Every structure is written in structure tokens, then in C-alpha cells.
Structure 1
Amino acid sequence: MRAYAFSMRIGDLSKRTGVSSRSLRYYEEQGLLTSSRSDAGQRHYSEIDVERVALIRQLFDAGMSSRVIAAVLPCVDSPTDPDITESAFMTMMHERDRIDADIANLLKSRDALEVLIGINRKYWAELTSIPVAG
């Protein structure tokens, strides 16, 4: 169990970070965040955890999955270990390449949709220009 100079419960951490309690519990399940437990089983966090949750949010916002974040976070915990920092760097490079590929695929999808929209416009223009026999 970790000892904290300042301890807050999950609701307090949620308010401080703007992250729901449910998400904080998920972060713990995924090994992204840890807490100490009171004798009654309540989670307790420190001021450091406020910063960690902010970092986790940044990593999620960067498009990383919880699995990838779990691979990168050891760099934060051991910033002077060259093997860990290199591994985190390579993981982030791989994620950037994955995002670049996703962007390329989305652009192809958008271009294909533009073709279909053009065909649809042409079809509707032809329909509306046909005189209706009455």
C-alpha cells in the first residue's frame, strides 16, 4: 500500500481532473493508475495522481489505446532508464505511423464518397429535368 502525504478519494480525483469515477476505475483495471485502499476498501489517490490522469487523458486524446498507454507510461515512472524511454519512443513512433495510415484510409473513403455524391447529384439533376407527362 502506498502512503500519501495528501489523500483524496475517487470522487475528489474525478472533480479535480474532470474524468468520471467510472473512467478512473477503468484506468486502474488497465494498469494505468494505482491507488491505495483504506481499511474499508475505498480508493485513495495523491496529488501526483492528478497529474498522471491529465497525462493519461493527453495520451487518449492523441489517439492511443489503453494498451498502448500502458506501454508508454513506464517511461514516466522511470525517465532515466534508456531501455524504457527508447521503448516508449518506438511505441509512440509506431502509433504516429498507425494514425498516418488511418488518415490515408479516411481520405480514400472520403474520395470514394465524393464520387458517389457526384453520381447522385447527376442522377437527381436528370430526374428533375425530365418533363412529367400529365
Structure 2
Amino acid sequence: MRIGELSRRTGVPTRLLRYYEEQDLLHPERTENGYRDYGEPAVQDVQQIRGLLDSGLTTEMIRAILPYLSGPDEILLPSACLTPETAALLRGHIDRIQARIDCLARNRDRLSAYLDAVNGMSAVSKR
């Protein structure tokens, strides 16, 4: 399929698909006239790349682990292939995700407490 079709099927603009290729995340074949030709697996690859980017991974991290991903829930990475550099990148990212989760939980708790306090005042003033 051509880049426009891949874009339509994934919802990812062609500009980003070209960027993914520049970042060595996608590897389309080239036709005789130079057009990109993507196989059917490219749809899942793009969806996986988008999900990893949305989770905050950099293209560098994705490039390191993408060859070992066989789907959204499965990583086939033999431990011998996990370099210390890649492990450090992933550990750092996990730590950043946890920090964001902690911050969001604190904000949720504060907002809930505020709403409880406001609702409690409203109930008292209605009496």
C-alpha cells in the first residue's frame, strides 16, 4: 500500500510516516518509480509506534525495542539482547512515568477533598 493509504488506515499524517522512516522505525519497500510501498504489517507497526510515543517513549527508545515487539502486549526480547544502555533508557522512562502517576494521584486526591469540602458546606447551608 502507498503512504496515503497507510495514513488513512492509521490516522497518522503522511508527514509523520516519513519522519518514522527517517528515524528508522518504518522500512517501506520502494517501487521502480520510487514510491513507498508498505506491507500489511505496517498498519500494526504504526499503531504500535503511536502507542509508544503517546506513552512518552522517544524515537531512540522505540528504535531500540521495536524489533522485539510482536504486538501491543508481547515483547520477545531475549535478555542477551537487552543492552545496559537500553535498560537504563527504559528504567529512566519507567521512573518518569511513576513520577507522573504520583503527581496525578496527588492532584486527584486534592480535587476530591476540595469537592467533598464544598459539597459538605452546601449540605450544611441548605439546612
Query: TM-score scaled to structure 1, two decimals?
Result: 0.62
Report the CA distance shift for 1:96/1:56 in structure 2 as closer, same or farther (over 3 A).
same
Instruction: Pick one of 6, 25, 33 that aligns with 1:32.
Output: 25
Query: 21-30 vs 61-70, which deviates more?
Result: 61-70
How do 1:43-62 and structure 2 match up within 5 A?
43-62=36-55
1:22 aligns with 2:15: yes
Matched residue pairs, number?
A: 98
Q: Residue 73 of structure 1 aligns to a residue in which SS? A: helix
Greater Rg over alpha carbons, structure: 1
The answer for unaligned runs of 5 or more in structure 1 is: 1-7, 111-134
Q: CA deviation at 1:23?
A: 0.3
* CA RMSD after TM alignment: 2.8
Determine helix, strand or coil for the equivalent of 1:64. Answer: coil
Aligned residues with identical type, % of pairs: 42
5+ residue gaps, structure 2: 108-127
- Paired with 2:91 and 2:68, the residues of 1 have a C-alpha distance of 14
Q: Show CA shifts across 1:79-102 (max 9, x none).
A: 263323x4598343331113334x
Question: Secondary structure at the residue paired with 2:51?
Answer: helix
Question: Measured at CA, do residues 70 and 35 of structure 1 come closer, stay the same or move farther in structure 2, by a change above 3 Å?
Answer: same
Where does residue 100 of structure 1 map in the other structure?
A: 98
Query: In the alignment, does 2:64 pair up with 1:83?
Result: no
CA 1:80–1:96 in 2, change beyond 3 Å: closer, same or farther? closer
- Structure 1 stretches of 4+ with a deviation exceeding 2 A read 76-84, 86-94, 98-101
